[in-house]
Structure 1
């Protein structure tokens, strides 16, 4: 499937006022894409649009809670009204909760699913309704997680929502293929990423939460998303660490359970005391306009992800490395 280059695309991004969504919006605009950005925070949306326009880009905003289908349909309608349609729809908005499953309230669990799962269902259906009418190659990108393959304790309900997103996306892709529609569907599965994710999450723990290391820079994910905008890829895992965990889990699931039970609660709690429980983005936006959080070190690239996106280049680099190593060995043998 031949997709348009970014400079010719209109791209819809939900959850575009912080973290991965904000980084992706900025990078997409720098590449020449026109944007329709959506989030709940009107002030933050206006600031992002002003920033993009001041740099010569083009963007419009829609105030929307993706947990409401009517709001999601308004995003679609505004994109059609302002730009005549869109080429790529990115379902990015998400929230999280840290806490044991027997302690987190059912109300909070349902609210998380409204955003993380139903938001992607509403967005996927809205995008497809437009793509079906248009009939030209288009792109749908859903944001999953490595936790959509390997659940962990303390973030159980978030893991469950991403498992649901993975299942929905897989079925949706097959139904689109069966209908013969020219729509490429990609599931992005990030590892731990340096975003305000933990700062926005509702926290039931006694300590402030954190993501288990290694943590990758937010722009590693944004680059993978923009690659998917132009390429027909089924899924992309961002970060080799997450891929290794999932591989180990598939090979030795019970042993992985035991390891996760021992180390994951510790790795997800800092030594800092927890802040106020009501300071979170679960039900309403609070602090936005930041791409990153306060992790002291974040990996700026992922060799695994780069290799998966550019396999031929990776094979070539590996061949060069082998040849160089062989040359060094032969030189040492002659000495």
Structure 2
């Protein structure tokens, strides 16, 4: 089945979690590329200001306040996008929250609330988007994490929610493909990204929650998301160092289990206090793209750039095989 996706400038794109971090960078980038964008988040006042800013710059942007954990609210956001722009071409499930705590210390109500946002928020987004994408096709993009591929002490509940998102998205892709539905289903897996997620998190470890290193700029994730809006992709890991972490955890599990709890001690800065309250239940301190603590965050990733250009990777691979074959042939002749 061939899935045809429109150029970005001709698309209507819905982005959840659009009031800060990756979602805000993605919405701004899409709007500046000419797309019509609906920004969805809980912070209605912040969304109003962001939309006014982008509209003053001449961009086609609207907003709809909704909690992604509320299915009716997400469906209303989808309906508003169609009302405002006539259709939906790409839907981006990005909204997410985090908890920093050992699993035995994670309050059950917070654990459930996080799954309501991270997992059921993605489910609600997919359920709302599919009826609008089914007829004419489009892209359904969900932001997970490298934590969907490996367990992470201190962020165990977060990792569990992202494992669930990965399983849901992968199964949905199979089912839609088997039914011949022309929707590209993509999973985005960022490594540590310089967003305010740590400052917004519920934290039971003391100090201020930090973004697990290595740390990349959110623009890399936005660029990967918007690439998937125009090129069908199964999944994209953003950040080669994060991919290396995943491979290490999968190929050396016993050693990873020994080292991961030690590395997790760096997830909290004991010299700072955690901002209160967290954004588990309502939007707080929205409007910021980055944490402000990592000016040296990596702005490039050779691994991700290569993943977005598979023909180049294939050519490089074939060249490598040719060189290896030539060396082997030369060695045999000289033997």
Q: Fold-level match, TM-score > 0.5?
A: yes
Pairwise CA RMSD of aligned residues? 1.7
Looking at structure 2, the residues matched to 44 and 317 of structure 1 have their Cα atoms a distance apart, in angstroms, of 46
Give the secondary-structure state (helix, strand or coil) at the position aligned to 1:86: coil
Number of aligned positions between the proteins: 318
* SS of the residue 1:37 aligns to: strand
| Alpha-carbon shift at residue 314 of structure 1 (Å) | 4.7
Structure 1 residue 251 displacement after superposition: 1.2
> CA-to-partner distance for each residue in 1:222-274, whole Å, 9 max, x for gaps?
1000100001100000000111011112211122111112222x221213233
Give the structure 2 partner of residue 200 of structure 1.
Answer: 200
Mapped pair 1:84 → 2:120: no
Aligned mates of 1:184, 1:226 — CA distance in 2: 13
Superposition pairs for residues 1-335 of structure 1, below 5 Å?
Answer: 1-132=3-134, 135-264=135-264, 266-275=265-274, 278-293=276-291, 294-314=293-313
Q: Is the 8 A contact 1:40 1:64 kept in 2?
A: yes
Of the structure 1 ranges 209-218 and 10-19, higher mean CA displacement relative to structure 2 is found in 209-218
Distance 2:49 2:285 in 1: 13
> Shift in Å at residue 275 of structure 1?
2.8
* CA–CA separation in structure 2 for the residues paired with 1:213 and 1:110: 26
Structure 1 residue matching 2:185: 3-state secondary structure? strand
The 8 Å contact of residues 13 and 38 in structure 1, kept in 2 or not, is answered as: yes
TM-superposed CA distance for 1:317, in Å, is 7.2
> What is the TM-score when the length of structure 1 is the normalising length?
0.91
Alpha-carbon distance between aligned partners in 2 of 1:26 and 1:247, rounded to the nearest angstrom: 33
Separation in 1, partners of 2:138, 2:65: 24
Give the TM-score of the pair, scaled to structure 2: 0.91
Q: Secondary structure at the match of 1:267?
A: helix
- 1:111-169 deviations in Å (ceiling 9; x for gaps): 0000000000010011112222xx22211001110000111100011000000000000
- Measured after TM superposition, the shift of residue 289 of structure 1 is 0.9
Cα distance in 2 for partners of 1:48, 1:14 equals 14
Tell me the distance in 2 between the aligned counterparts of 1:259 and 1:182.
43
In structure 2, C-alpha distance between the alignment counterparts of 1:311 and 1:176, rounded to whole Å: 24
Alpha-carbon separation, structure 1, partners of 2:22 and 2:248: 27
State how far apart, in whole Å, the 1-side matches of 2:7 and 2:54 are.
Answer: 19
Distance, in Å, in 2 between the alignment partners of 1:2 and 1:180 is 13
Counterpart-to-counterpart distance in 2, 1:129 and 1:12 = 14
* 1:326 match: none
Whole-Å separation in 2 of the counterparts to 1:275 and 1:256: 28
Task: Provide structure 2 residue ranges, at least 5 long, that are not aligned to the other structure.
Answer: 324-335
CA-to-aligned-CA distance 1:38-71 (integer Å, 9 cap, x gap): 1010111111111211111111111100011110
How far 1:92 moved relative to its partner?
0.4
Are the equivalent residues in 2 in contact too, given 1:92–1:143 (CA < 8 A)?
A: yes
Distance in 2, matches of 1:27 and 1:51, equals 14
2:199–2:274 CA contact under 8 A, matched in 1: no
Structure 1 CA distance for aligned equivalents of residues 252 and 176 of structure 2:
34
Q: Aligned partners of 1:18, 1:97: CA distance in 2, in Å? A: 17
Q: Secondary structure at the match of 2:303?
A: helix
8 Å Cα contact 1:205/1:274 also seen in 2? no
CA contact under 8 A between 2:209 and 2:274: conserved in structure 1? Answer: no
